[in-house]
């Protein structure tokens, strides 16, 4: 499958790992929008939030368990924001479900 994040997970495209377990891979965004900008992805390919079902939602739960660990590893003691862009209106560019973890400064109070 021609998926950028699947290639990053398997290691054929290099990335800066922040956290990893059997279900989740977390790495630095190549174009950071904040002092800390990490992407968390399920190791199984799910195209977007729209592809989450009762059958695969355990992988999403594992990401939410990993978020506080990645945030702690990055020193985000004063809070952070988690975003997932889904589909064209949200400008999703990589079609493998991912969660942006942003922090390290006061973020804009406008979300969109």
Residue 98 falls in the annotated catalytic set: yes
**Using the rule CB under 5 A, is 3 a contact of Zn ion?**
yes
**Using the rule CB under 6 A, is 27 a contact of ligand 5GP?**
yes
8-state DSSP, 12: S
Helix (H), strand (E), coil (C) string for 15-76: CCEEEECCCEEEEECCCCCCCEEEEEEECCCCCCHHHCCCCCHHHHHHHHHHHHHHHHHCCC
Question: Closest distance between Zn ion and the C-beta of residue 92, in Å?
Answer: 13
Binds 6: which of Zn ion, ligand 5GP, none (CB < 5-8 Å by kind): Zn ion
**Using the rule CB under 6 A, is 72 a contact of ligand 5GP?**
no
Closest CA to 71 of 81, 59, 60, 61: 81
Question: Closest distance between Zn ion and the C-beta of residue 108, in Å?
Answer: 30
Task: Single out the residue of 17, 21, 30, 57 in contact with ligand 5GP (rule: CB under 6 A).
Answer: 30
Distance CA 67, CA 87 (A): 22
Residues that bind Zn ion (CB under 5 A): 3, 5-6, 45, 96
């Amino acid at each position: 499958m021609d998926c950028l994040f699947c290639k990053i997970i398997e290691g054929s495209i290099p990335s800066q790992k922040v956290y990893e377990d059997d279900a989740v891979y977390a790495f630095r965004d190549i174009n950071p929008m904040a002092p800390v900008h990490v992407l968390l992805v399920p190791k199984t390919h799910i195209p977007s939030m729209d592809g989450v079902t009762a059958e695969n939602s355990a992988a999403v739960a594992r990401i939410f368990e990993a978020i506080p660990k990645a945030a702690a590893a990055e020193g985000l003691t004063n809070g952070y924001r988690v975003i997932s862009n889904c589909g064209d209106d949200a400008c999703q560019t990589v079609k493998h479900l991912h969660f942006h973890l942003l922090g390290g400064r006061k973020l804009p109070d406008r979300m969109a």
